[in-house]
Every structure is written in C-alpha cells, then in structure tokens.
Amino acid sequence: MSEIRRDPTTGDWIVVAPRRLERPWQPESFCPFDPGAPETGHGWDVLILPNRYPVVSADTLPPRPDGFYETARAYGRALVVVETPSHDLDDLSDLPVEQIEKVLRMVRDEAARAASDPGVLYLLYFRNKGREIGVSLTHPHSQIYELPVVPERIARELERAEEYWRSRGRCLHCDVVARESPSGRSLLRGTRWTAFVPYYARWPHEVHVYPLRHVQLLTQLDDEELAELARVLKAVLCALKRAVGRPMPYMMVLHQAPLRGDHRYYHLHFEIYGMYRPDGRLKYAASAETGAGIYTLDTTPEDTAERLRKALASCRRDTS
C-alpha cells in the first residue's frame, strides 16, 4: 500500500511506498531491461515499461483520512523509459541523435496520454545517471512519474513565475534566457534551444536547457523542437561526461507546467545537475543544503561554463 502525505510545515509531498524496498539493487547477472527479458521481448529500440515497483499506481486505494494531516491517494503511473537495447552503453549522450529523438517523442506521446487521465495532475520526467547517486540499474533508462499532486519545488517556481507575470507582464524565464544566453555562462544557442550554467546554479556542474519559444508543456513542442532538443541534450551530456576527466554522475529533470489549469506564465525547461566538483569529487547535499535549503558552491558558475565549453568543443571535434 502506498499513500501520499503532506508535511504541513513545508508543504512538501512524501510518497510512502514501502513495496519499493523489494526492487533489485544493482544486480550483477540479470538485467530486466535487456531484450528478451520477461517484460521486454524483442524487436524494439525504445521501450516504455510500467515500473515493477511503482511509487504510484492506478490500483492504489484512497488513504484513510487522518483528520489532521493532509493526505492524497497514491494514484498515477510510474514508468521506465528503456532508451536502448544495448545494456553496456554508458549514457544517453552515447546514443545516436536519432535514437535520442525517438526517446523524446515517446515521452511526449506518453505525456499526451497522461493529460487525458483526470486523476493525473503532473508528469515528472527525469533521468538519474551514475551508481554514486544511487541508480539501481545501469542499463540506460529514464523515468516518468504521473502524479496526482504538483511537486513542491515546481509549485514554488510556478508561484514566482506567476507573480512576475502579474507584476511585470512578462515571463520570468524568458527574461532569464535573455540575460543568460549572451552571457559568459552560455554554453550554446541553437535556433530553437539554448543551454547555460545559470547565474544561480546550486550544483557544481549545473546546466539549464530552455526552448526559445515560450511554451509550458512537453506536448506543445513540435517535431523540429524535439529534433534540436535531442542534439542539444547529446552535446550537453557529452560535455558533462568529459568536464572533469571521468564520467559525471548527474540528475536531469524536466520542469513543465501541471497538466491542467492555465499556466501561461510558465516556461518549461530541463535542469541538469552534474554532481562532481572540478576535482572529480562528489558533491553531497549535506546539512546546509538538505536541512536548510541553502546551497554552497565550491566553484563559480562562470568557471564551470568555461570548463563545459571546452568539453563541448572536444565533443564536437570527435563527432565531426
């Protein structure tokens, strides 16, 4: 049984899902995402599978009301996006750009499907990379959570963007892009997307990727935008991999609007957190970060951008 509980002191949602304890932890001999495994079969190049140990699911019962605390039914879907049949590829950036594009199209299709489910309010798409940050399976994959609540960090961004829109009549994120993309923190600018290390980076190698068009949802992106996004993600992730001399563990999260309601003031983007410091040591979210939400950075976003631009150039040399 899963349920969602709310921390009344912060507004955070916590998905209580004890059955997740049973999921396999870095198994040596068998990979459930390989072709021919019981749930995958053969003849595919990208596959979206139901997560066998889901945080939310359609068959969850409503929680017993507490009377004091706010709870929500852990309704929804948890999915795994198997990005390639090749178990031994290291990262999304190692796939051909057409394959990455196919992954993105399938996620967009799933987002369109999710939008028609009245029980789902938010689609969270994310990717964890690297054993050091706790991936349980190394076969290249990303994940989708279709949730009945809006995650609190997203809710905070929505609030600030709405306030800016109301007081200044403009999109906060468009203004950030206008400020960042010609700056020393810029990594690349295409015709439809831009990538930069934000002025306000919290993690040692943090990169934000924005569509230049003001859109709120993955489903609003057209085929040309997805095709360029595939190229940009491949380049940025390749740069992360090369930035400090050994493959960088990272987290990548799509920030988009909730699936329902009017959120025209919001602007979708990807946030990528590369977790190594320049010396190749892992940055931990310890007391200050986790307990108080104040981040310390042992480097500057400007130096990070410089390092990543060099890595981007090296990636470009090898692919041309």
Residues that bind Zn ion (CB under 5 A): 171, 173-174, 214, 267
Binding partner at 23 among Fe ion, ligand UDP, Zn ion, none, C-beta below 5 to 8 Å by kind = ligand UDP
Nearest to 32 by CA among 50, 55, 14: 50
40 binds ligand UDP (CB under 6 A): no
CB distance 5 to 65 below 8 Å: no
Binding partner at 174 among Zn ion, ligand UDP, Fe ion, none, C-beta below 5 to 8 Å by kind = Zn ion
Q: Give the CB-nearest residue to ligand UDP.
A: 32
| Per-residue tokens: 316 | 């470009």
- Give the integer Cα–Cα distance in Å for 39 and 152: 33
- Give the integer Cα–Cα distance in Å for 193 and 127: 20
255 binds Fe ion (CB under 5 A): yes
267 binds Fe ion (CB under 5 A): no
Count interface residues toward Fe ion (CB under 5 A).
1
Q: Nearer to ligand UDP by C-beta: 80 or 240? A: 80
Sign of CA dihedral 53, 55, 56, 59: positive
52 binds ligand UDP (CB under 6 A): yes
Q: Nearer to Fe ion by C-beta: 255 or 283? A: 255
Quick one: which of 4, 15, 80, 171 contacts ligand UDP (CB under 6 A)? 80
Q: Is 299 exposed, middle or buried (0-12, 13-18, 19+ CB in 10 A)?
A: middle
Instruction: List CB contacts of 16: < 8 A, sequence separation 6 or more.
Output: 2, 3, 4, 5, 74
Q: How far is the CB of 270 from Fe ion (least distance, A)?
A: 9
31 binds ligand UDP (CB under 6 A): no
- Give the integer Cα–Cα distance in Å for 99 and 257: 26
Binding partner at 128 among Fe ion, Zn ion, ligand UDP, none, C-beta below 5 to 8 Å by kind = ligand UDP
Binding partner at 41 among ligand UDP, Fe ion, Zn ion, none, C-beta below 5 to 8 Å by kind = none
246 binds ligand UDP (CB under 6 A): no
Instruction: List CB contacts of 282: < 8 A, sequence separation 6 or more.
Output: 132, 249, 275, 276
Contact set with ligand UDP (CB under 6 A): 23-24, 32, 51-53, 80, 128, 134-137, 143
Q: Name the residues that contact Fe ion, by CB under 5 A.
A: 255
